Chains A and B, each alone.
Chain A
Amino acid sequence: MPRFFLHIDDGTQRIADEEGSELPDLAAARDEALGAARQLWSAAILDQRDIGMHSFHIANDQDEVIASIKMDDVLPVALWSDLKGS
């Protein structure tokens, strides 16, 4: 199985994923990033931190970024418009 790296960009710096994980394909890597984003939001909301500026950059084993996911992508639409709309 190919190895995917989930680098995190917190808006000011890149936190490198040095280990990566073996996953069947890019779709699985995206699912992993989306699941992680939900978990990071749940902790951030409890701590009253905004991680809306953060994103995941999914890289392959050549360290080429092949997809990006914004933390906002996992917020429920209603919540997102409440947060950003007003």
Chain B
Amino acid sequence: MAYTNRLLRALSPADQDVLRPHLRWSELGRGTVLFPPNALITQVWFLESGLTSIVAISGIDQGVEVGIAGRDGLVGMPLLLDADRTPHRIFMQVAGTAYTIDGDVLRQILDEQPSIRKLLLRYVQAYATQTTYTALSNVVHTVEERLARWLLMSHDRQDDDEIPLTHEFLALMLGVRRPSVTIALHSLEGLGLIKATRGLVTMRKRGNLEEFAGASYGVPEAEYDRLIGPLR
């Protein structure tokens, strides 16, 4: 079976055989909450498509995205680290599909198959790098640069050039109010890098968008390539 998920792909055929009988196919609509804050993690998702947003929340109505995962990764990372829950809220920002595995089954496999555990822990490191660079970006880069970085990151996780995103979602992703997103999209569009229509951003000139994003993009992606394999 050919997987799209980069982690499942990176496993040896023997390790794939260990996991395969336990994987169940699952379709995840936009907005599906995979983990509400502090919910017990009873399963792990290996995403085949779509995009998950990991959001840190403060109080009742404030939150900002701290990480994303798509076909590059999995959702349910605390389980790999001997934890059973996370205060983050994790939901599908772009509808997708995943292979899901029971948490207890995966725990046992990780104990018995060090090669699987090692690969998945390397992914945790790659993800941690992404999330720290998001923290950096939120402080040192402009909204336009952060938007460019974010669009590149989501484009990395799909084949299509069309990214279905509302301005409202982008505002949460970037930790800004909606009009800041409207203006930033308008700037990138004015440079011919993207096309933004209602609920949809289309990548037009990826190379130029990377140039625009500059140093805000690339370090976590290089780490991913080094630790796991090609991201795109």
Contacts and interface: CB of A to CB of B under 8 A. Distances in A.
A39 B171 CA distance: 12
A59 interface: no
A64 B197 CA distance: 21
Given A8-B182, A43-B142, A43-B143, A19 B168 contact: yes
Given A21-B178, A32-B177, A40-B180, 16 more contacts: A6-B178, A6-B182, A8-B179, A8-B182, A8-B183, A15-B183, A15-B186, A17-B178, A17-B179, A18-B167, A19-B199, A32-B178, A33-B179, A39-B179, A39-B180, A56-B179
Contacts of A56: 179
Nearest to A54: B183
Contact of B177 (A15, A19, A36, A47): A36
Contacts of A6: 178-179, 182
Size category, A interface? 10 to 19
Interface string A43-79: 1000100000000100000000000000000000000
A11 to B, nearest CB: 13
A32 B179 CA distance: 9
Given A18-B197, A19-B167, A35 B177 contact: yes
A56 B197 CA distance: 20
A8 B181 CA distance: 12
B166 interface: yes
B185 to A, nearest CB: 9
Interface of A: 6, 8, 15, 17-19, 21, 32-33, 35-36, 39-40, 43, 47, 56
A39 B168 contact: no
Interface string B162-198: 0000111000000011111011001000000000011
A29 to B, nearest CB: 11
A41 to B, nearest CB: 11
Contacts of A19: 166-168, 178, 198-199
A36 B176 CA distance: 8
Given A21-B168, A39-B176, A15 B182 contact: yes
A63 B113 CA distance: 60
Given A18-B197, A18-B198, A19-B198, A47 B142 contact: yes
A13 B177 CA distance: 21
Which of B176, B178, B179, B186 has the most C-beta atoms of chain A within 10 angstroms of its own C-beta? B179
B179 A36 contact: yes
B138 to A, nearest CB: 13
**What are the 8 tightest A-B residue pairs by CB atom distance, in nearest-first order?**
A36-B179, A36-B177, A18-B198, A15-B186, A19-B167, A6-B179, A39-B177, A17-B182
A82 to B, nearest CB: 25
A54 to B, nearest CB: 9
B199 A36 contact: no
A59 to B, nearest CB: 13
Nearest to A47: B142
